[in-house]
């Protein structure tokens, strides 16, 4: 079997019939070789060559230029190599003790365990001040000290959760780049 493009013999198992090509690649080849039709054959190497051209044209259309990441992807396609890597170890290795602590605090602060413990703490605080220490309360009703504690907790917990969320967003961005 001969390749329509190069008019050379194609090794068995390396031939690709034109009707099975993606429409964009088919049209790209047809633009260069007007006699190309659905019954023609091309080799895998030629197909990979036109795939690269097709991807380059799509990337250029979308962004106007090909950046370094796009060039890496194109080179990986050209060399039939795997570009992905396990980034979890890299991400985890870069975290400082403060970042790991912030992640643990944010994880606990957003759990049902924290909500239940905190709800019990507030009820206990109010119960002790209203019924048990009715004559000599350390924080009488409207519980100003409790409000101060809640405000301080919220003021400290919010930035910690934001730090953790920002780090998770960065991880997601790196995973997205890696997936691309």
Over residues 149-154, mean pLDDT: 94
Question: Which position has the higher pLDDT, 90 or 30?
Answer: 30
Same-domain check for residues 22 and 64: yes
DSSP string covering 34-76: TT--TT-EEEHHHHHHHHHHHHHHHHHHHHSS--HHHHHHHHH
Cα dist. 73→146, 163, 164, 172 in Å? 57, 32, 31, 19
What range defines the domain where residue 31 resides?
A: 15-79
Count up the domains in the chain and report the number: 2
The answer, yes or no, to whether residue 165 has pLDDT greater than 70, is: yes
Q: Are residues 70 and 92 in the same domain?
A: no
Domain membership of residue 123 (yes or no) is yes
Mean model confidence pLDDT for the chain: 84
Residues 92 and 148 in one domain: yes
Q: Tell me if 68 is assigned to some domain.
A: yes
Same domain (yes/no): 128, 172: yes
Whether 3 is covered by a domain: the verdict is no
pLDDT at 87 over 80: no
Residues 107 and 164 in one domain: yes
Domain identity same for 102 and 147: yes
In a domain? residue 8: no
- For residues 71 and 48, the model is more confident at 48
Whether residue 7 is contained in a domain is answered as: no
**The model's pTM:** 0.47
Same domain, 93 and 155: yes
Any domain includes 51 = yes
Q: What is the pLDDT of residue 81?
A: 61
| Residue 177 in this model has a pLDDT that exceeds 80 | no
Beta pairing class for 41-43 and 15-17: antiparallel
**One domain, residues 24 and 92:** no
């Amino acid at each position: 079997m001969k390749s329509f493009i190069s008019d050379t013999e194609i090794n068995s198992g390396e031939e690709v019939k034109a009707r099975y090509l993606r429409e964009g690649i088919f049209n790209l080849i047809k633009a260069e070789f007007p006699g190309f039709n659905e019954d023609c054959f091309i080799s895998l190497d030629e197909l990979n060559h036109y795939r690269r051209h097709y991807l380059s044209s799509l990337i250029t259309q979308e962004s106007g230029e090909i950046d370094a990441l796009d060039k890496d992807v194109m080179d990986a396609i050209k060399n039939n190599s795997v570009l992905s890597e396990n980034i979890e170890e890299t991400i985890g290795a870069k975290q400082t003790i403060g970042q790991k602590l912030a992640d643990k605090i944010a994880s606990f602060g957003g759990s049902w365990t924290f909500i239940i413990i905190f709800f019990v703490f507030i009820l206990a605080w109010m119960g002790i001040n209203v019924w048990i220490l009715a004559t000599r309360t350390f924080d009488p009703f409207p519980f100003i000290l409790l409000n101060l504690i809640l405000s301080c907790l919220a003021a400290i917990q919010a930035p910690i959760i934001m730090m953790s969320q920002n780090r998770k967003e960065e991880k997601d961005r790196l995973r997205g780049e890696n997936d691309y």
